[in-house]
Structure 1
């Protein structure tokens, strides 16, 4: 009874709030997180997060990371790898230090501070790509380097998160160097094997009717299969989801298939995850505990300014104009998928408390609202002069 009721409440909230926020020209993600806050235990208390709902939410996060991995095209890094490296290092190192020292200042343990630093490194490819595309900057050198650097920063964040997880709560009995060497070998093998697996399954099929749905089932099977395989080795399913998307990014060429994957992900699983994130956000802490409000404000200002300033400086270092560098700084500020992955795992393991969880949700809401707005505003001034 409660399983069905909770499921219905989530779907109703997702439809209602996304439609309402769309009318207000506000992001889809913001709508779902706010929906979770409203219907969750710290809001009106309509939603009970049952084990089944929680499982669907974890599947949603895996799909979110899978799609983030699919956005990565490693073949596109070769041309401007020097500039991308400069931008990634500067735009990652300064925010990491700021995040780390904010946590230390508020009395958190070193591990919590390290996780906050990892969160500050990342940016959101899922927010940045549509914003850059809407500004007609995707084919330009500026657009390509912003996206490539953001992807590298996400990869660094997830790699560091993986190291932290293996150090603190190791699932594998293998020594870390052996574990990561095996992981790299496995990724290379999968990169070669997956296209051949598709040809093999195509060979087994005599009829081409229903091929599109067959390919979709094949991709979903590979996603869950690789996640299970990596989990057996000791890699967290969320990170495994990203690596699966990374491996499949060059293999999935059908636009219709990608749209179908997005439809399944954003139509069901991912909204459940975002609503659960909202439901777990105790916004009362901002008003009841003074330090929580101060912490939240410090994290929002620290993250936004460190990403903006480091992005601007990196842009100037690699030869962009002042306005182009300003756009680069603003474009790297949005936080979403990787941030949520780190927050979700850190909170699950007890290293990020409710104060930090609430602050992170506030950071996501702020940056996903402000980032695209400023990208659109600044891009109007530079689109005509941007180098292809």
Structure 2
């Protein structure tokens, strides 16, 4: 099948999924995942997606995360980090311990259990944020808490991947130098983002404005080119470049895209008042359309294609998958929810929303599974399918639990300004 034909089929499923989401009042993300799984298992989509579709899907998650960061206020984000350290810590330790213990009891292999614990640690923040967006909850304090704690979790999980995979494969020993290198990469990446935000974006570049050429550059001038005609192109280019910077430092590109959106302010679009046009609102609408209507959904449909049904294997691992799902479901909600309440001092409605929002498992989980199962053969087929099925059930739980909670307590969940 031609790559463009595959994309056309995915877009058709996105159209149907969006219609069904409107009719059923369920978030469209759930339907995207469903159609991806359905089409790959009935043979309409290939089990191994072509590079074009994989790259298109990755571009989708980059634009989604940029759009979410673009909507967020950087001051709220920084303030939220101080508030969400406990959510990140306890919300990661609990699922790691549950998955590790379960894997040891199921298969008795310490290295495989280590990879299972690691795969189930990081939250699929993109799935949660899109679910919150579709329900009008993405501007709540709880959403910011989920995003910041999930970013911290992802950074810690990526560090653990770099440390634990070589240990599990026997290729390396745990050393202080290796740990310091990973910490140094994290610090360097965020320092680079802060530098970009402090130099390229503001109207005045401080001491840097006296440097030839560099001092004359700022985002406001770039956005104002041709009366704002190239503003969207400039924004998407920044999103992709910072995503690539994150990837170069060993992090998921989506983290970089979110940070890029976070350090862009509304004031940068106030460059041509004579037209009486809200350039910021126009940019937001165009970015959101790409992120949530036609490019971003490809990521979720493609994610759904990861679950290939092999009846014999699935039936054999179903008891383990259900037990692991139940353990992670309650363990994640309780650990993140209680941490949000007692370390972050969120109200109970927001705390439980944070617990529900931390349930998803996607990008990093599949990265760890691919490393452990495909690259290094640490994980058995049974363990791989168990984690895949568990992750799928957890992902379905995100929009369902958030939707259920919204109907009861949305009015009690404070919103950010």
Pairwise TM-score range, normalised by the shorter structure = 0.7 to 0.9
Cα deviations by residue, 1:264-283 (Å, 9 ceiling, x for unpaired): 12222222221112122124
DSSP 3-state at the match of 1:367: helix
Q: Equivalent residue for 2:370?
A: 348
Q: Partners in 2 of 1:71 and 1:7 — Cα distance?
A: 28
Q: Equivalent residue for 2:357?
A: 334
Q: Partners in 2 of 1:283 and 1:188 — Cα distance?
A: 45
Greater alpha carbon shift after TM alignment, 121-130 vs 262-271: 121-130
Q: 1:50 to 1:319 in 2, by over 3 A?
A: closer
Q: 1:156 to 1:181 in 2, by over 3 A?
A: closer
Q: 1:308 to 1:258 in 2, by over 3 A?
A: same
Cα deviations by residue, 1:72-111 (Å, 9 ceiling, x for unpaired): 5441256677654444444443344333333333336144
Contact preservation (8 Å) 2:68, 2:129: yes
Q: Partners in 2 of 1:129 and 1:293 — Cα distance?
A: 32
Alignment pair present for 1:223 and 2:239: yes
Q: 1:75 to 1:362 in 2, by over 3 A?
A: same
Following superposition, the deviation at residue 177 of structure 1 comes to 4.4
Q: Equivalent residue for 1:162?
A: 158
Following superposition, the deviation at residue 30 of structure 1 comes to 0.8
Match for residue 201 of structure 1 among 219, 222, 228:
222
DSSP 3-state at the match of 1:26: coil
Q: Equivalent residue for 1:133?
A: 137
DSSP 3-state at the match of 1:281: coil
Contact preservation (8 Å) 2:30, 2:396: yes
Root-mean-square deviation (CA, aligned residues, Å) is 3.6
Greater alpha carbon shift after TM alignment, 255-264 vs 351-360: 351-360
Q: Partners in 2 of 1:229 and 1:121 — Cα distance?
A: 21
Q: Equivalent residue for 1:151?
A: 147
Q: Partners in 2 of 1:121 and 1:377 — Cα distance?
A: 24
Q: Equivalent residue for 1:30?
A: 30
Following superposition, the deviation at residue 249 of structure 1 comes to 1.2
Alignment pair present for 1:368 and 2:399: yes
Contact preservation (8 Å) 1:91, 1:314: yes
Q: Equivalent residue for 2:196?
A: 190
Cα deviations by residue, 1:334-377 (Å, 9 ceiling, x for unpaired): 357x7322123223324572331232122101222122212322
Q: Equivalent residue for 2:408?
A: 377
Contact preservation (8 Å) 1:334, 1:371: yes
Contact preservation (8 Å) 1:63, 1:265: yes
Q: Partners in 1 of 2:95 and 2:31 — Cα distance?
A: 27
Contact preservation (8 Å) 2:56, 2:295: yes
Q: Equivalent residue for 1:235?
A: 250
Following superposition, the deviation at residue 216 of structure 1 comes to 0.7
Q: Partners in 2 of 1:214 and 1:34 — Cα distance?
A: 36
Q: 1:260 to 1:111 in 2, by over 3 A?
A: farther
DSSP 3-state at the match of 1:299: helix
Q: Equivalent residue for 2:289?
A: 263
Q: Partners in 1 of 2:223 and 2:152 — Cα distance?
A: 36
Following superposition, the deviation at residue 327 of structure 1 comes to 5.2
Structure 1, unmatched stretches of 5+, are none
